Homo-oligomer: A and B are copies of this chain.
């Protein structure tokens, strides 16, 4: 079973990193809470501050300094040790790629170790990757292949709760969700 794991919002705490930086730069602006919002793109939560949000996301070290989502690193390492599971990290860089692409590699090296560099796939279109499962927090993962051969399992986040027709997991319950797929 080949599993693709997304980075932002799944392995790396993108939302937390953004909030920390936003608080630092704009202490007086009220935050739109993740809880209860239904918008995937952070930039659309702050339409009046679009340029400021973009500056944060495109700033040097933003990706590099993201904390790991609690339990993510341990889960990925445990998963990889299971017989019959093959893990790849599958991430889409920002269009402003100057810092984000290299920092995604650095993040993986720092948190998972150097040998994981070989497991990174950077692509805007994940539908053309051959796998059994894609773990991704994005509500809908589209691309040129209309029926990808992976099952999209949602990484549970407040902003994807409107999706009701997909399985979902967190790093607390991933075994219960994934291991039955492995057995079948």
A105 / chain B contacts, CB cutoff of 8 Å = 93, 97, 101
- Is A122 in the interface zone, CB < 8 Å from B? yes
Question: Does the CB pair A97–B124 fall under 8 Å?
Answer: no
- Is A117 in the interface zone, CB < 8 Å from B? yes
Give the distance to chain B from A131, nearest Cβ to Cβ, in Å: 7
* Residues of A in contact with B (beta carbons under 8 Å apart): 2, 86, 88, 93, 95, 97-98, 101-102, 105, 117-125, 128-131, 144-145, 149
Chain A binding surface, main DSSP class: mixed
Question: Does the CB pair A2–B121 fall under 8 Å?
Answer: no
Question: Does the CB pair B98–A128 fall under 8 Å?
Answer: no
Distance of A95 Cα from B129 Cα, bound (Å): 22
- The 3 A-B residue pairs whose C-beta atoms are closest, nearest first, are A122-B122, A121-B123, A118-B124
